[in-house]
Amino acid sequence: MSSYSKGLLADNFNASYKQLGEKDKTTFSSLCFRLLNENYIYGQCERDLYYQIDRFKEIMQDYFGIIDYELVNDSAYKIFFLKSAGERTSVKLKKFESMILLILRRFYYVKTCETGSDADIAVTYDELLGEIRKNGIYKEDIKKTELLNSLKILKRYKIINFDYRSFSTSDALTVYPTILYAVSQIDLENITSILAGYGAKEDDSENETVEDTTD
């Protein structure tokens, strides 16, 4: 973006910000902080927060545009998130976490096709574990604590949700539509080959880059 364009954004932001009352300025700052520190705001779970951001959407677009972010709104799924160029759009995941993310994306596709619904879907612990074992990456059995730790990371990024404090192997976790932005349709078509590629790697300590795929 040119300095001229940013200048216009700055002028628009300053004009709009001056019109806000002190309470709204505090709310605006809080909402910007949430967007910068969380991957997604999912309105089905955070209805009030989603509509608060929607109220400030125009001034936020100017503000984030100045610092090279785009405020993206998927009104159908009620999702807000920030998108920017380069490495700042990426989340670093370990191989095991990346594999789980891809498997969950495949589950999301299959189950939404089966149900005809494209909202939240449920995946049981046993279903997920079965797919991990089928993938043949790990020769030894997966410990529940290892899997839960990886799932908690995806929960923090608002890809899934589950109660990890009382989670048992008979429970299901919820996969949100936010996974559509974490793994694109193009990636979905290549999931089998991508997972096979993970199987050829021996070191699980290496990081994978999971990029925003909303271009």
User: Sorting pLDDT into bands at 50, 70 and 90, what band is 166?
Assistant: confident
CA neighbor of 93 nearest in space, from 156, 133, 150: 150
Q: Residue 167 corresponds to which amino acid?
A: F
Element (H, E) at 100: helix 95-115
CB atoms within 10 A of CB 124: 14
Write out the residue range of the structural domain in which residue 151 sits: 90-211
The model's pTM:
0.81
CA distance 97 to 99: 5
> Does residue 163 sit in the same domain as residue 75?
no
CA neighbor of 175 nearest in space, from 191, 156, 159: 159
Choose one of 84, 100, 127: the last residue of a domain. Answer: 84
- Residue 210, pLDDT above cutoff 90: no
Please tell me the total count of domains within the chain.
2
User: Sorting pLDDT into bands at 50, 70 and 90, what band is 81?
Assistant: very high
- E strand residue ranges, 2-60: 41-42
Choose one of 68, 84, 100: the last residue of a domain. Answer: 84
CB atoms within 10 A of CB 100: 22
Q: How far is CA 92 from CA 87, 155, 189, in A?
A: 10, 15, 22
- Residue 214, pLDDT above cutoff 50: no
Please identify which residue in the block is written with the tokens 């969380």. Answer: 38
In SS3 terms, 102-144 reads as HHHHHHHHHHHHHHCCCCCEEEEHHHHHHHHHHHCCCCCCCCH
CA distance 123 to 159: 13
DSSP 61: H
What angle, rounded to 10 degrees, do the helices at 57-66 and 3-18 form? 140
CA neighbor of 25 nearest in space, from 70, 56, 69: 56
In tens, the pLDDT along 181-201 reads: 888 777 777 777 777 776 555
> Does residue 135 sit in the same domain as residue 78?
no
79 in helix, strand or coil?
A: strand
> Does residue 108 sit in the same domain as residue 184?
yes
> Does residue 107 sit in the same domain as residue 173?
yes
> Does residue 16 sit in the same domain as residue 74?
yes
> Pick the residue with more confidence: 105 or 190?
105
> Does residue 28 sit in the same domain as residue 45?
yes
CATH classification of the domain holding 50: 1.10.10
